[in-house]
Amino acid sequence: MEEVERLVKKYFEFVSEKKFMGLKCKSCGAYILPPKSICKKCGSKEFEWVEFSGKGSLHTFTVIHVAAKRFLNDAPFVVGVVQLEEGPRIMARIVGVDPNKPETIKTGMPLKVTFIESDEKVLLAFEPEK
């Protein structure tokens, strides 16, 4: 029996190896993140994994002061929606900024990918592009 490639599982395997990978539709060329079983633009189910540039900008953000149990030790921390150069947006930790001075964090600021470790896992994060 042919093995089905589990896209979500594969994505997080890449993250655990500190690689920022996403899907590219083989039919229309659209970049897709988070992974989906179908391209919402053209309906194709044929993809290839490509490494994303890791460059983007801050679309919106919040500073989490009251965290869920598993992240109590991290608070306060910044979580933001990152507009990626390839088109999709992704939710990520924003590091290298001061969570106690949200007025100094600017939407639109250029970011680059990095990875942090929390909750015994590697997490996707972005930091200001110097």
Partner 1 sequence: MKRKVAVIGVGLTKFGKHPKVSSRELFAEAAFKAIEDAGIDLKDIEEAFVGSFLPDVLEHQGHIAPLVIDYIGLTGIPATHTEGACASSGAAVRMGYISIASGLRDIVLVAGVEKMTDFPTSDVTEALALASDDLFEAAEGLTFPGVFALMAKAHMDKYGTTEEQMAAVAVKNHRNALFNPYAQFHKEITIETVLNSRVIAWPLKLFDCSPISDGAAVIILASEDVAKKYTDTPVWITASAQASDTIALCEREDLTTFKAARIAAEQAYKMAGVEPKDVDVAEVHDCFTIAEIIAYEDLGFCKKGEGGKLIEEGETEIGGRIPVNTSGGLKAKGHPVGATGVAQIVEVVHQLRGEAGKRQVDGAEIGLTHNVGGTGATVTVHILRR
Interface residues with partner 1 (CB under 8 A)?
8, 12, 34, 59-72, 74, 77, 79-82, 88-93, 102, 107, 118-119, 121, 123-124
Q: In whole angstroms, how far apart are CA 125 and each of 29, 30, 46, 93, 118?
A: 26, 23, 28, 4, 11
Smallest distance, partner 1 to C-beta of residue 14, A: 13
Smallest distance, partner 1 to C-beta of residue 58, A: 10
Which is closer to partner 1, CB of 29 or CB of 76? 76
Q: How far apart are CA 75 and CA 78, in angstroms?
A: 9
Task: Find all residues with CB under 8 Å of 116, minimum gap 6, and list them.
Answer: 93, 95, 122, 123, 125
Smallest distance, partner 1 to C-beta of residue 90, A: 5
Smallest distance, partner 1 to C-beta of residue 1, A: 26
Could you identify the residue written with the tokens 């639109």? 108
Q: How far apart are CA 104 and CA 89, in angstroms?
A: 22
